[in-house]
Amino acid sequence: MAVIVAADDDPAMCRLISRILQGVGHTVVTVNDGAAAIAQVRERRPDLILLDGEMPPGMSGFDAYLLLHDDDDLSAIPVMMVTGSATPDRVRQQLPEVCDVVTKPFTPEELLNCVRQVLGAPPGAST
């Protein structure tokens, strides 16, 4: 299964994301800001990165995405934005190369379907 780094400043959201993704066999590392996400990505080289767009106080997910995207060693790792503050269209305008956008609140099925699509698993697979 995949190794996923998930960054969100809300501990309850980190627990929810972790529970959903670990429930289907993924390894999930959660952090609470963009700088910690970048550090974990450099250390673990995950298969997928989930970033909350707004993460005060510190580096936002949008800022972290731009740094990851500009880093030749890390830019190939797919990034999904998980946000409650922006519409998917707005996120895609700002970050056109983001793999997918999940809006909060989301259902476990919505999150899993997006992860399956980004990781390339077929729709019926238990990813």
pLDDT > 90 fraction of the chain, expressed in percent and rounded: 69
Domain with residue 70: its CATH number is 3.40.50.2300
Sign of the CA dihedral with 40 first, then 42, 46, and 51 last: positive
The reported pLDDT for the residue numbered 35 is 93
Dig out the tokens for 82 from the structure: 């998980």
Mean pLDDT, range 44-62, rounded to an integer: 89
Q: Which domain holds residue 70?
A: 3-119
Tell me how many domains the chain contains: 1
Does a structural domain hold residue 127? Answer: no
28, 39 contact by CB (below 8 A): no
The reported pLDDT for the residue numbered 86 is 65
Sign of the CA dihedral with 73 first, then 95, 58, and 21 last: negative
Does a structural domain hold residue 61? Answer: yes
Mean pLDDT, range 94-117, rounded to an integer: 89
Question: First and final CA of the chain: distance in angstroms?
Answer: 8
Confidence bin at 50 (pLDDT 50/70/90): very high
Average pLDDT for the chain: 89
**Whole-angstrom distance, CA of residue 89 vs CA of residue 103:** 11
Does a structural domain hold residue 55? Answer: yes
Does a structural domain hold residue 124? Answer: no
